[in-house]
Structure 1
Amino acid sequence: MTCATAPLVPLIQPIDGLTGLELEMMERVGHFPMMEDPRGFETRLRRLIGGDSAGST
């Protein structure tokens, strides 16, 4: 039995049809950055959606 798999696409290379895509890299986190570094994740998320983290609790 043969299993065909698609190669992984590096996210740091342009992907057709995704113009304006912003990539945020977080260090020292794994698969769940929102759980491993909640403040860092929130800061980046707010910046990306147009808010800021000032006054957040």
Structure 2
Amino acid sequence: MNLSNDDARMLEELCQQHSVSPDKVLKLLDAVRDYEFKDRRTGVYDALREILKSQPERPA
């Protein structure tokens, strides 16, 4: 997902305030966007659940 600099900064600030991983939020938004224009959204909740269950990526 391509965010403007202002949006990326705001996302970082909000995620810090709420102890949430910005990467995980971006993955959730991407998943919702993938299902947005489908006739049937079967599987969207499973996809979101898997993202929420996943461990945060650790920097190399």
More helix by share: 2
Q: TM-score, normalised by structure 1?
A: 0.35
**Rg larger in 1 or in 2?**
1
User: Highest relative contact order (Cα 8 Å, sep 6+), 1 or 2?
Assistant: 2
